[in-house]
Amino acid sequence: MREITNYTILITGGAGFIGSNLCEYFLSKGNKVICLDNFATGHRHNLTACISNPDFTLIEGDIRNLEDCKKAVEGVDYVLHQAALGSVPRSIKDPVTTNDVNVSGFLNMLQAATEAKVKRFVYAASSSTYGDSVGLPKVEDVIGKPLSPYAITKFVNELYAEIFSKTYGIETIGLRYFNVFGRKQDPNGAYAAVIPKFVMQLMQHEDITINGEGNYSRDFTYIDNVIQMNELAIATDKKEAVNTVYNTAYGDRNTLNDLVAYLKEYLSNYDSEIANVGVIHGPNRAGDIPHSLASIDKAKELLAYEPKYSLQEGLKIAVDWYWENLR
């Protein structure tokens, strides 16, 4: 793999969970990193390790503003576009804002990157694009109909990226993230991700609520696997590896009941009472896909992707971080 060092990399949404991890990683590799964020969902404290680094630049701006996007891409080699309004429930409650950020904002960034002649535009796509497709594992070229406004926006991103590649010649790679978790993931708010939310509740000895019977399954993907995929997407020199999309996952699935059992087990090493915290089963959530499992064969073949962390391995590391930082 070509070493990624001494480049200038723009990370949009760089104050978010995934974005801030990418900022730290690429700074550690000797790159100049620019973070563009409006702090709608990201946090300044996520950038604590970056802010004093002379190779780090923070631009407080909004991808819905084309001029902010053009300013951010000046002199940039690669764009890692992470900025988005996540969450299926949020998109159902407010589809207009989700569309403004995820579609109009995406288009602004793609236009700005094209005009600036960046080497490659790598963007966060989503497993939600598989929609009502029932086949497992999920293979990149077989998708169903979207089940939420959020899923529509992420599919539209892929369509725009393809058109821009064909029409304007910019290289693009989409990474369909599958249930990413790990350090810096926000446990607070109405749309908090399930793992940090469950961890907080367990640490506080609060009963946790699982949507449905807990038999829905997910391909939970540890943050370091995602970092690896972003680096490979920048580094590849294969023509056949660009202007396409890849599943970004571990390639295994676990139910929500499995997840809770692992969290209880690992957190009980710190507090034995956590093993006794109750579990409540509520209704299934609108727009949720019942089962999600990625085929990672394409990423292995074209990008030499080798994910190092299973759910269990990632959770053991993440739980240590949660215990130190979220109590």
Answer yes or no: is pLDDT of 50 > 90: yes
Residue 212 — pLDDT band, cuts 50, 70, 90? confident
pLDDT in tens, 124-166: 999 999 999 989 999 999 999 999 999 999 999 999 999 999 9
The predicted structure's pLDDT at residue 323 = 93
- CATH classification at residue 300: 3.40.50.720
Structural domains counted in the chain: 1
The predicted structure's pLDDT at residue 172 = 98
Residue 2 — pLDDT band, cuts 50, 70, 90? confident
The answer to whether the beta carbons of residues 282 and 210 sit under 8 Å apart is yes
pLDDT in tens, 245-263: 999 999 999 999 999 999 9
Q: Does 208 fall in a domain?
A: no
Answer yes or no: is pLDDT of 211 > 90: no
Answer yes or no: is pLDDT of 289 > 80: no
The predicted structure's pLDDT at residue 284 = 83
Q: Does 263 fall in a domain?
A: no
Q: What is the mean pLDDT of the chain?
A: 95
Q: Does 206 fall in a domain?
A: no
The predicted structure's pLDDT at residue 285 = 76
Rounded Cα gap, residues 312 and 303, in angstroms: 24
Asked about 309 being catalytic, the answer comes back as: no
What are the structure tokens assigned to 23, written together? 């900022």
The predicted structure's pLDDT at residue 189 = 74
For residue 307, the Cα-to-chain-centroid distance in whole angstroms is: 15
The predicted structure's pLDDT at residue 68 = 98
Q: Does 60 fall in a domain?
A: yes
Q: Does 119 fall in a domain?
A: yes
For residue 106, the Cα-to-chain-centroid distance in whole angstroms is: 15
For 108-137, give one letter per residue: b (16+ CB within 10 A) or e: bbbbbbbebebebbbbbbbbbbbbeeeeeb
Answer yes or no: is pLDDT of 190 > 80: no
β-bridge mates for residue 208, sequence order: 279
- For residues 83 and 292, the model is more confident at 83
Q: Does 268 fall in a domain?
A: no
- 202: CB partners within 8 A, 6+ apart: 208, 263, 264, 267, 274, 277
Answer yes or no: is pLDDT of 15 > 80: yes
Answer yes or no: is pLDDT of 303 > 90: yes
Domain assignment of residue 74, given as a range = 8-181+220-251+290-309
Residue 40 — pLDDT band, cuts 50, 70, 90? very high
The predicted structure's pLDDT at residue 252 = 97
The predicted structure's pLDDT at residue 109 = 98
Q: Does 303 fall in a domain?
A: yes
Catalytic pick among 150, 177, 216, 309: 150
Q: Does 68 fall in a domain?
A: yes
